[in-house]
Structure 1
Amino acid sequence: MQYIHILMVDDHPIIIEGYQNTLMATKKDNQTLVIDTANTCDAANLLMEKAANEHPYDVCFFDISLPPSADGKITSGEDLAKISRNKMPNAKVVILTMFNESYRIHNIVKEINPDGFLIKSDLTSSELAEAFHHILIDPPYYSSTVSTFLNKSVVNEIYVDEINRKILHLLSQGIKTRSLIEYIDLSMSAIEKRKKQLKILFSVTDGKDESLINEARKKGFL
């Protein structure tokens, strides 16, 4: 019997229920699925800490858009995926998201290199089942939208590293630039330089932080 330990993280319980039902209904006779679920970054992080010390997950499903952790250090499923890579290097990481923006997709692939990448608007029960079994045996599995974007060359590719994403997140939470050094271990001049680079990347011409946040949100980085 093959025991498969799974973590599913999404802030909509009904979506997780649908994923669970699909996997349970389509599992192979020799498979036993043990599924843990979480609706927040904090809950998911606690489950991963426990699993890493006891029985690491075989597969982790992460929605990208999640409420940030209470301390603000974990802002998305992307952050959780990085934690999973660190704590449980053998776990298969599957990203699920509503974002179908090519810049965002390229960024996630660069940052996470997921074993599975599914756009929710592409997803059917049969594709989820197919993806799951494919990822177990021969990853990666990318849904059609992801594959299409990755096969196209992106001329003005936007790559936003972890620190820049944190800057964007803090600014979107109303944190003033002068206060960013309290949250990020960089000098003020280094932070200002990164902000300037971000405004160039997102083609912000008026220099306003509000415009930067709006552009980042449009492209799915917030």
Structure 2
Amino acid sequence: MTEKIKILMIDDHPMIIEGYQNTIQFTKKEHQELSIDIANNCDEAVRYMDKAILQQNPYNLLFVDISLPPSSDGKMTSGEDLAAYARDILPKAKIIILTMFNESYRIHNIIKTINPEGFLIKSDLTSSELASAFQAVLHNPPFYSGTVNSYIRKIDSSDIVIDDKNRKILHLLSQGIKTKNLAPHLNISLSAVEKRKKQLREIFDVQDGQDETLIEEARKRGFV
């Protein structure tokens, strides 16, 4: 019995996607038939997902790189936002997150917000681990790489979790956008922006109230 698997791979480095493709095509089971689409940015990925829904032919599996450039409308600032969108419109699809970030705060945040079926750190990824992850995520999720598992064991429940609006605030501030101009980007009031910035300063233990310090701390922990 043929198992047809529709896959969307999202990464802004074509060589990396080629590597993923070759690995899973080479190691797939005999009865598996793969159909793979490739997106190099958030906009392309959204178009593919929306089209799949329209054609009533949804994806079974998504490979999502976290470090993607923002979407052209600015609504998505990373692969994390894209994965959240996929969760919403493709509820049955399995998601494998791939990232260079190996910071425990960032990993914890992705698990809390996306809860992916697969989570791999690119810097310690091998072909055999990718092949194992692919099969495990399809039939017996979750599959987390060794680095991710070791961080999960270290993290306690009081660790940092930052929601999508707070991540967008950090992203926009890092782009040099002033606080007074943030509200329209986020569809919230200026006082709500100020409240969230205060919360972020507390989370990152920023004492001086400077946006530069906040961004520097967020960057150290992989949130920008």
TM range (shorter): over 0.9
Q: Report Cα offsets for 1:184-203 as digits up to 9, x if no partner.
A: 22221111011011011111
Q: Counterpart of 2:130?
A: 128
Out of 148, 152, 155, the residue aligned to residue 153 of structure 1 is 155
Is 1:181 the equivalent of 2:147? no
| Corresponding residue of 2:24 | 23
Give the aligned partner of residue 220 of structure 2. 218
Aligned: 1:43 with 2:36: no
2:108 aligns with: 106
Structure 2 unmatched runs, 5+ = none
- Shift in Å, 1:218: 1.4
Match of 1:11 in 2: 12
Mean Cα deviation higher: 106-115 or 168-177: 168-177
- Give CA deviations for 1:65-104 in whole Å, capped at 9, x if unaligned: 0010111111111111011111110000110000000011
Alpha-carbon distance between aligned partners in 1 of 2:5 and 2:208, rounded to the nearest angstrom: 52
> Matches of 2:155 and 2:90 in 1, distance apart?
32
Sequence identity (%):
62
- Aligned mates of 2:52, 2:14 — CA distance in 1: 21
TM-score, normalised to structure 2, is 0.97
Shift of residue 153, structure 1, vs aligned partner: 3.2
105-114 vs 176-185, which deviates more? Answer: 176-185
TM-aligned CA distance change 1:155 to 1:33, over 3 Å: closer
Query: Cα distance, 1:156 vs. partner?
Result: 5.8
Q: Which moved more, 1:201-210 or 1:25-34?
A: 201-210
Q: What is the TM-score when the length of structure 1 is the normalising length?
A: 0.97
Structure 1 residue ranges without an equivalent (≥5): none
SS in structure 2 of the partner of residue 183 of structure 1: helix
Structural RMSD (CA): 1.0
Note if 1:144 corresponds to 2:150.
no
1:2: how far off?
1.1
- SS of the residue corresponding to residue 141 of structure 2 reads coil
Secondary structure at 1:62's aligned position in 2? strand
Is the CA contact (8 Å cut-off) linking 2:62 and 2:95 kept in structure 1? Answer: yes
Given that 2:108 and 2:152 are in contact with CA atoms closer than 8 Å, whether structure 1 keeps it comes out as yes
In the alignment, the residues of structure 2 paired with residue 85 and residue 155 of structure 1 have an alpha-carbon distance, to the nearest angstrom, of 23
Distance 1:196-1:131 versus aligned 2 partners, 3 A rule: same
1:170-190 deviation digits (Å, cap 9, x = unpaired): 111111101111112222111
